[in-house]
């Protein structure tokens, strides 16, 4: 609870006690009025002030105005009719403030939940300087420095373990509760907590580019993207409040005037004014205005606790309507960690020439040394030795094709069929299943490397779960060969496959798929951003792999899966749908209760106490309901 909330609580308790006291003590006349007015001011002075300021600024129609008019009116009426019943006026303010207090507490709580996530922000990094470990601001650590992370500390910057081993708690990032073991040479992600051992880490990114900074940026931005329902409510409130005020004014004046003019009765002003005031209290729109953004906020917070970052309330709406899911293959459904299966050399089929094989791998690794494609990384690994960058120059990467480079003065090409035919080189066919990297030196074909990728362990389950949550169609787009694509799709149960696509073809295909869907359905594209960032931003909803994915992907995407687990997609859809259900429950419940009470109020059946329930009671129920979106079950 913050200071403002504490003062509010004191005011509420004081008002409740003083009102109780006044109910017990018999007071009369002016003294009674003065006593109630004093209590009224204690609880309501800020509302009156805000209402006044609204009027002075020419924007009178808000909740403060409604509450001020209703309570001041109730006072005036009690004075006018000599009833001495000032309790209702105080009660209107008191309960309104209780509602406000409650709401600010709830918002604070969900914000705290998100900031628990924000708590991943590291405050310092330990660097070694002249044999001494010193604490510095993580912003000051340059790429390639060595930092020391001790048990219990947050990993401040992304890097690679140089020395030592430990287990990491990555739950704040991925929602995964099992600790992850890392050893020398493993990547280590900022934002995770070091549990057991001291490790030395060579940083691979600056603090601002590290995972932790990226996540925090995303979370901070996400609250600024308003959803359609939120927009609707804001516009609704702008029209609604003046309409309600006019309706109340008419309710207070027309019936008495009509009865006076048509039937010659003396007008019952106080009865109708009282009804109009109840009408105002009932119709206060705060339950909607508050609970809807809060539901989205809580929904986004809940998802982030499971390692799903949703970049805005509008994306929750889109996510809930996903009926088509299009996947990229490499790095999305597969691990993107290729193993070299075989190496063929066209001239030398019969004997197993180890030296020739090693030469192919070496040339490939050198030519690919600047690429960030998973194939390239896997080739580097298969080569197993450090790259001598002085041997390579003039590297050109053609997305969806491969690379060419000058290695030791020779023009080396490494890539698929398309690259070879583009360069007018005839490639040898291969019967071994897998992704082929054809190699040519100075325009002469020298053989190919056959690589195999591994499907992600829960990719199959991910596709199944998507069908379970009502996704109508799953599609895979890939730049890889037809054979590999067909095999992966069949293994995973994907409905449709399109293979041998260049990045531009992927966009084209996606546009056709977008045309194909029905109204009210949305299409999600899931990728790692390597050769597919344009597709990510073109889809209704782009979902990126967070840890494997490129920065471009994380930027272009609307949803980021922190742990690259495709089965989180179905979970994200379920969470989004639940959040939307809660939003609609609140809208329908609030409007129907208010409408019923308004009718009763106009008929004179509902009094001020019912009005207070229709306003504050409903708001509290709606806020409690909204908070459910924060809770996440395991399924
Ligand atoms: P995917 O759609 O499966 O993610 P990409 O569009 O990234 O695949 O790449 C498509 C194909 O282009 C690869 O299967 C490979 O044959 C070729 N390719 C792309 N980049 C490279 C590279 N750096 N080295 C070799 N081949 C590459
Ligand atoms: Mg890819």
In the chain, the percentage of residues whose pLDDT exceeds 70 is 93
User: Token digits for 78?
Assistant: 């009690």
pLDDT of residue 227 exceeding 80, the answer is no
Mean pLDDT over residues 37-48, rounded?
Answer: 93
Residue 417 falls in the annotated catalytic set: no
Confidence of residue 341 (pLDDT cuts 50, 70, 90): confident
pTM: 0.78
Q: Cβ distance 608 to 278 under 8 Å?
A: yes
Q: Which residues surround ligand 2, an ion (CB under 5 A)?
A: 328, 330, 530
Please report which ligand is nearest the Cα atom of 548.
Answer: 2
pLDDT tens-place string over residues 112-169 = 665 565 566 788 899 987 778 889 988 888 888 899 998 888 899 999 999 999 988 8
Rounded Cα gap, residues 569 and 308, in angstroms: 9
The pLDDT score that the predictor gives to residue 349 is 55
Range of lowest pLDDT (50-54, 555-559, 581-585): 555-559
> In this model, does residue 229 exceed pLDDT 80?
no
pLDDT over threshold 90, residue 419: yes
Residues in the chain: 635
Among the ranges given (34-38, 60-64, 562-566, 614-618), the one the predictor scored with the smallest mean pLDDT? 60-64
Could you report how far apart the first and last alpha carbons of the chain are, in Å? 32
| Highest-confidence segment of 97-106, 318-327, 452-461 | 318-327
225 has a pLDDT exceeding 70:
no
Confidence at residue 226, expressed as pLDDT on a 0 to 100 scale: 64
Strand 187-188's sheet: what is its strand order? 132-136, 125-129, 146-149, 199-203, 159-163, 187-188
Ligand number nearest CA of 529 is 2
Q: Is 304 in the pocket of ligand 1 (CB under 6 A)?
A: no
Residue to probe by mutation, ligand 1, list 368, 373, 378, most atoms within 8 Å of CB: 373
The stretch 75-98 carries a mean pLDDT of: 85
Percent of the chain with pLDDT over 90: 31
pLDDT number for residue 307? 83
- CB environment 76-114: b (16+ within 10 A), e (fewer): ebbeeeeeeebbbbbbbbbbbbbbbbbbbebbeebbebb
Average pLDDT over residues 230-253: 82
Region 350-368: what's the mean pLDDT? 82
Q: Is 19 in the pocket of ligand 1 (CB under 6 A)?
A: no
Summarised one tens digit per residue, pLDDT across range 282-293 is: 887 778 877 888
pLDDT at 428 over 80: yes
38 φ, ψ to 5°? -60, -50
From the CA of 395, which ligand is nearest? 1
pLDDT in tens, 481-539: 898 999 999 999 999 999 999 888 999 999 999 999 999 999 999 998 777 878 888 89
How far apart are alpha carbons 519 and 304 in whole angstroms?
29
What is the predicted pLDDT for the residue at 635? 44
Distance 315 CA to ligand 1 centre (A): 30
Q: Give the per-residue pLDDT at 634.
A: 47
> How far, in whole angstroms, is CA 460 from its chain's centroid?
25
- Token digits of residue 281: 């209290």
Cβ–ligand 1 distance for 402 under 6 Å, the answer yes
Q: Distance (Å, rounded) from C-alpha 492 to C-alpha 394?
A: 40
Q: How far apart are CA 139 and CA 540, in angstroms?
A: 35
Q: Is the pLDDT of residue 31 over 50?
A: yes
d(CA 550, CA 546): 8
Nearest CA to ligand 1 atom 8: 479
Closest CA to 168 of 158, 181, 185: 181
Per-chain mean pLDDT for the chain:
86
Please state, in angstroms and rounded to a whole number, the distance separating the CA atoms of residues 25 and 39: 14
| pLDDT of 199 | 92
Task: Using only the alpha carbons of the chain, give its radius of gyration.
Answer: 33
Q: Could you give the CA distance from residue 357 to residue 343 in angstroms, rounded to a whole number?
A: 6
Q: Do 344 and 448 form a contact (C-beta atoms < 8 A)? A: yes
Marked catalytic residue, from 46, 139, 231, 328: 328
Per-residue pLDDT, averaged over 314-322, amounts to: 93
Mean pLDDT of 469-480: 94
Q: Where are the alpha helices (DSSP H) in 155-198?
A: 171-174
Q: Ligand 1: does its nearest atom lie under 6 Å from the Cβ of 480?
A: yes
Name the residue of 337, 421, 478, 535 whose CB sits within 8 Å of the most ligand 1 atoms, as the mutation to test its pocket.
478
Average pLDDT over residues 255-273: 83
**CB of 416 shorter than 6 A to ligand 1:** yes
The dihedrals phi and psi of 341, each to the nearest 5 degrees, come to -85, -60
Tens digits of per-residue pLDDT, 205-218?
A: 888 888 777 777 76
The finding on whether 531 has its CB within 6 A of some atom of ligand 1 is: yes
């Amino acid at each position: 609870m913050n200071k403002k909330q504490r003062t509010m609580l004191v005011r509420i308790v004081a008002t409740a006690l003083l009102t109780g006291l006044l109910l017990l003590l018999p007071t009369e006349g002016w003294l009674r009025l003065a006593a109630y007015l004093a209590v009224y001011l204690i609880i309501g002075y800020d509302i009156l002030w805000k209402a006044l300021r609204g009027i002075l600024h020419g924007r009178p129609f808000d909740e403060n105005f409604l509450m001020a008019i209703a309570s001041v009116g109730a006072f005036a009426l009690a004075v006018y009719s000599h009833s001495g019943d000032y309790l209702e006026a105080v009660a209107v303010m008191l309960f309104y403030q209780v509602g406000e207090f409650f709401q600010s507490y709830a918002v604070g709580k969900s914000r705290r939940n998100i900031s628990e996530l924000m708590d991943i922000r590291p405050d310092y990094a330990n660097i070694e300087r002249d044999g001494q470990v010193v604490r510095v601001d993580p912003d000051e650590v340059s790429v390639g420095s060595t930092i020391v992370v001790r048990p219990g500390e947050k990993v401040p910057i992304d890097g690679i373990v140089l020395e030592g081993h430990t287990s990491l708690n990555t739950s704040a990032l991925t929602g995964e509760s099992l600790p992850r073991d890392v050893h020398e040479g493993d990547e280590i992600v900022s934002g995770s907590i070091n549990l057991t051992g001291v490790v030395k880490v060579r940083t691979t990114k600056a603090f601002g580019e590290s995972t932790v900074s990226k996540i925090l940026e995303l979370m901070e931005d996400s609250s600024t993207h308003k959803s359609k329902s939120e927009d609707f409510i804001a516009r609704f409130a702008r029209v609604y409040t003046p309409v309600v005020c006019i309706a109340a004014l008419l309710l207070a004046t027309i019936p008495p005037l009509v009865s006076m003019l048509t039937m010659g009765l003396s007008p019952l002003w106080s009865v109708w004014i009282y009804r109009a005031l109840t009408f105002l209290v009932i119709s206060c729109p705060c339950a909607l205005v508050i609970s809807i953004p809060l539901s989205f906020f809580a929904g986004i917070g809940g998802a982030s606790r499971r390692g799903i970052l949703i970049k805005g309330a509008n994306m929750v709406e889109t996510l809930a309507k996903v009926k088509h899911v299009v996947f990229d293959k490499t790095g999305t459904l597969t691990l993107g960690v290729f193993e070299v299966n075989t190496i063929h050399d066209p001239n030398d089929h019969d004997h197993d020439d180890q030296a020739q094989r090693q030469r192919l791998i070496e040339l490939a690794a050198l030519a690919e040394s600047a690429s960030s494609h998973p194939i390239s990384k896997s080739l580097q690994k298969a080569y197993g030795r450090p790259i001598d960058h002085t041997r390579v120059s003039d590297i050109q990467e053609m997305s969806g094709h491969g690379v060419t480079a000058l290695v030791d003065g020779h023009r080396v090409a490494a890539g698929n069929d398309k690259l070879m035919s583009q360069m007018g080189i005839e490639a040898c066919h291969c019967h071994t299943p897998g992704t082929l990297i054809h190699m040519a030196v100075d325009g002469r074909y020298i053989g190919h490397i056959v690589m195999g990728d591994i499907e992600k362990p829960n990719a199959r389950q991910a596709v199944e779960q998507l069908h379970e949550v009502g996704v109508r169609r799953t599609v895979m787009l890939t730049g890889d060969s037809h054979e590999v694509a067909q095999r992966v799709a069949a293994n995973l149960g994907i409905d449709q496959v399109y293979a041998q696509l260049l990045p531009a073809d992927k966009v084209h295909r996606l546009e056709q798929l977008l045309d194909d869907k029905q109204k009210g359905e949305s299409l999600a594209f899931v990728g790692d951003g390597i050769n597919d960032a344009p597709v990510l931003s073109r889809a209704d909803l782009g979902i990126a792999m967070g840890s494997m994915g490129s920065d471009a992907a994380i930027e272009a995407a609307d949803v980021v899966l922190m742990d690259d687990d495709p089965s989180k997609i179905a979970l994200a859809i379920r969470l989004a749908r639940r959040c939307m259900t809660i939003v609609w429950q609140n809208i329908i419940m609030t409007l129907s209760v208010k409408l019923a009470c308004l009718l009763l109020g106009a008929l004179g059946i509902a009094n001020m106490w019912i009005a207070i329930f229709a306003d504050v009671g409903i708001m509290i129920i709606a806020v409690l309901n909204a908070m459910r979106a924060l809770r996440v079950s395991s399924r």
